[in-house]
Structure 1
Amino acid sequence: MNATDEHNEEPTGEKLVCQIMAAEGVIGVLGNILVCYVILRVKFLHNITNYLLVNLAVADMLLCFQVFLYYSISDCKLIAFAPVSKGVRDLFCRLLASKFLAFALTYASAYNLCVVTLERYIAIVHPLHYARKLTTARMVTLIIMVWVTSFVVHITLLFTVEPIDAPNKICSFKYPHQVFPILVSIYSFFLGYLLPLSFMSLAYYKMQVTLKRQAKALNLQHARAAAYDLVIARQNLISMLKTVLGALIVLWTLDYVVTLPCLHRTDEAQFSFCGSKPYHYARVFANLLFNFNSVINPIIYEFKYKKFKQGFKLAFCRCFKRHNGNRVGVDIAPL
């Protein structure tokens, strides 16, 4: 959402901060590409849950890429040879400086995580309806809807900025009305943050309750070890997904809070403190945390997702492939 900031401002006065932002972008792109590679290469990871994680990784990868692109071209000036034609400046202003790509990809990331949650919720809480409700066609349609909606709802941002020829200034913001940036901040807070996080938190609570009840019932009935192990494996998978959600909440909250009153932090913003130095520093720190969320998911998979860890070894280590390549665990089963 906020990986982009106005080009007419200095980042924080420290080049290091800008370089950290660009580095986060590079690491996030590489980490999420790695997630896609491992899941798509290793056959025992080929199921609907992991395919949805690939879709989530693509959203995070694109979000990281636009972070790197913005800071490399603007504040860090790492790409000094970037063209400065009017067409290129127009694309820079409308896609990056306007926050169009940042908002759209943030929505795509949040709601793709919601799709992962929905799939697990139906598999665990309503297993008898899984095959009927979550057909391949429906899942593909849902994913397409998430991506299209994420971009369409922010399309007005493309027309709020335009390139100008002025010293030390590339883009000029022109809102249709004074309250427009306030409205954008408010609906982004509710639709891009509060709504998906509330849905996922409630869904994971119900899943955890259901899994505990199932484990208790199987234990009392002295069920077969395989059935009990399946429930435990699902608990581990849900634990990993809850960690992903927890990281998102921790790393996104400050950013949404500081962005709510000031869509663009300039002296001409809706509130006077939007151009102050304390707010400037708070916004930079929030940006660092926000961008890190798209970097941390591959790390969580490696430490919390047993099957991904096995798949990673299988994809890159031949010795593991010889001895363990055919092992398939129950924690990736769809039901």
Structure 2
Amino acid sequence: MNTTDEHNEEPTVEKWVCQIMAAEGVIGVLGNLLVCYVILRVKFLHNMTNYLLVNLAVADMLVSLQVFLYYSTSDCPLIALAPVSHGVRDLYCRLLASRFLAWALSYASAYNLCVVTLERYIAIVHPLHYSRKLTTARMVTLVALMWVISFLISLPLLFTVEPSNDPNRICSVTIPHPLFSILLSICAFFVAYLFPLTLMSLAYYKMQVTLKRQATVLKLHHARAAACNLVIARQNLVSMLKTVLGALIVLWTMDYFAVLLCVQTTDKAQFSFCGSKVFRYIRIFANLLFNFNSVINPIIYEFKYKKFRQGLKVAFCSCSKRQGGNRDDIEMAPL
């Protein structure tokens, strides 16, 4: 956020924003680090879906880390307390102030959630093709590709901000063309928001329909309890993942629509509202929601994912290790 407003109350607002954002960053790093630790530590959580959740947690953890670094050095006085060389200033401006890392890691978070959705979609809708289509090598390649694409499409941002020669400013903006911001905002809306969220919503709808049909068939044929429990477990897992997707939609929508509506928050914007103080506060609130998405997933796992709760007990309570370590993970079975 800019801190150049002439109103007296603005520095106080920015300080509070900085503290909240930095707190979100710390909580997000710790929460997603906990997810990685539990899944990697507990044996009955070692499967394809959970490894993909670890990858998603890594993306969210890095988003939270860059949020903490940006807001603790941009709006808080921490950067003034340490000697900063030209190289460090250049890295700060190129990676953080340009929002390159913020955009790239947000892309990675959305795309890695798409990979989790794809894995569950094939396991539920096309189970006979699961072992052939989703080999370990293919999934590793797909995950690596998602990370590479996320950073490649964010590369132009590296050249929009550079260290400032003004001693009173850290960075200066160097937009190559007036249309650059417009094209970037439209591209981000469709590539990082509308397209992946639409695909995932359709995939979860198809999964829900398939699971309901399977449950009906099993009930009519009086299937064994194990088969019914497998369908129920899959329904619970899909419900948890739909909650993750729903949280992403709710927390990201305001920010993406605000960016799309007002590409420039000045008197040159397409709407006069875009340069107002009210819109500035809307953007601050939208940013708070956007960054909170990287904090909320571990909370969702705790409340909606039974196996993760069991894993927490196994990882941190020695008395339950023997009991929890011998359980079969039927929730993640591909068939």
- TM-score, shorter chain, exceeding 0.5: yes
**Consecutive unaligned residues in structure 2, runs of 5 or more:** none
Counterpart residue type for residue 219 of structure 1: K
Query: Whole-Å Cα distance in 2 between the matches of residues 168 and 255 of structure 1?
Result: 30
| Matched residue, 1:128 | 128
Q: Distance in 1 between matches of 2:330 and 2:4?
A: 53
Question: Could you tell me how far apart the structure 1 residues matched to 2:286 and 2:239 are?
Answer: 26
The runs of 5 or more residues in structure 1 that have no matched partner are: none
Any idea what the Cα deviations from partners look like across 1:276-335, whole Å, max 9, x if unmatched? 211110000001111111000000001100000000110000112143331223112232
Question: Where does 1:10-29 land on structure 2 (aligned, <5 Å)?
Answer: 13-29=13-29
Other structure's SS at 1:84 match: coil
Identify the residue that residue 222 of structure 1 maps to in structure 2: 222
Secondary structure in 1 aligned to 2:170? strand
Q: Measure the CA separation in 2 of the matches of 1:266 and 1:88.
A: 30
Counterparts of 1:13 and 1:308, CA distance in 2: 38
SS in 1 for 2:281: helix
Structure having the larger proportion of residues in helix: 2
Trace 1:28-177 onto structure 2 (pairs within 5 A): 28-177=28-177
Which residue is 1:202 aligned to?
Answer: 202
Corresponding residue for 2:285? 285
Greater alpha carbon shift after TM alignment, 231-240 vs 273-282: 273-282
Q: Per the alignment, in what secondary structure is the counterpart of residue 164 of structure 2?
A: strand
Deviation for aligned residue 1:11 = 6.8
- After TM superposition, the structure 1 stretch with the greater mean CA deviation from structure 2, 277-286 or 159-168, is 159-168
Deviations, residues 163-201 of structure 1 (Å, cap 9, x unaligned):
112254222212221111000000100000000100000
Cross-structure match for 1:191:
191
- Is this contact kept in 1: 2:52–2:112, CA < 8 A? yes
Quick check: 1:305 aligned with 2:305?
yes
Provide the rounded CA distance (Å) in 2 between the counterparts of 1:121 and 1:239: 13
Tell me if structure 2 keeps the 8 A contact 1:254–1:286. yes
Question: C-alpha displacement at 1:21, in angstroms?
Answer: 0.5
Q: Is the 8 A contact 1:215 1:231 kept in 2?
A: yes
- Root mean square deviation of aligned Cα: 1.8
State TM-score, norm by structure 2. Answer: 0.94
Judging changes above 3 Å, is the alpha-carbon distance between structure 1 residues 90 and 131 closer, same or farther for their aligned structure 2 residues? same
- Deviation (angstroms), 1:266: 5.3
**Counterpart-to-counterpart distance in 1, 2:214 and 2:42:** 30
Distance 2:230 2:277 in 1: 53
Residue 88 of structure 1, CA deviation: 1.3
Counterpart Cα distance in 2 of 1:332 and 1:96: 38
| CA deviations over 1:86-130 (Å, ceiling 9, x no partner) | 211111111111111111000000000000000000000000111
1:121, 1:207 within 8 Å by CA — same for their partners in 2? Answer: yes
Code of the aligned partner of 1:227: A
Aligned residues: 331
Counterpart residue type for residue 42 of structure 1: V
Q: 1:89 to 1:136 in 2, by over 3 A?
A: same
Contact 1:8/1:168 (8 A) holds in 2: no
In the superposition, relative to structure 1, how do residues 61 and 81 fare at CA in structure 2: closer, same or farther (>3 Å)? same
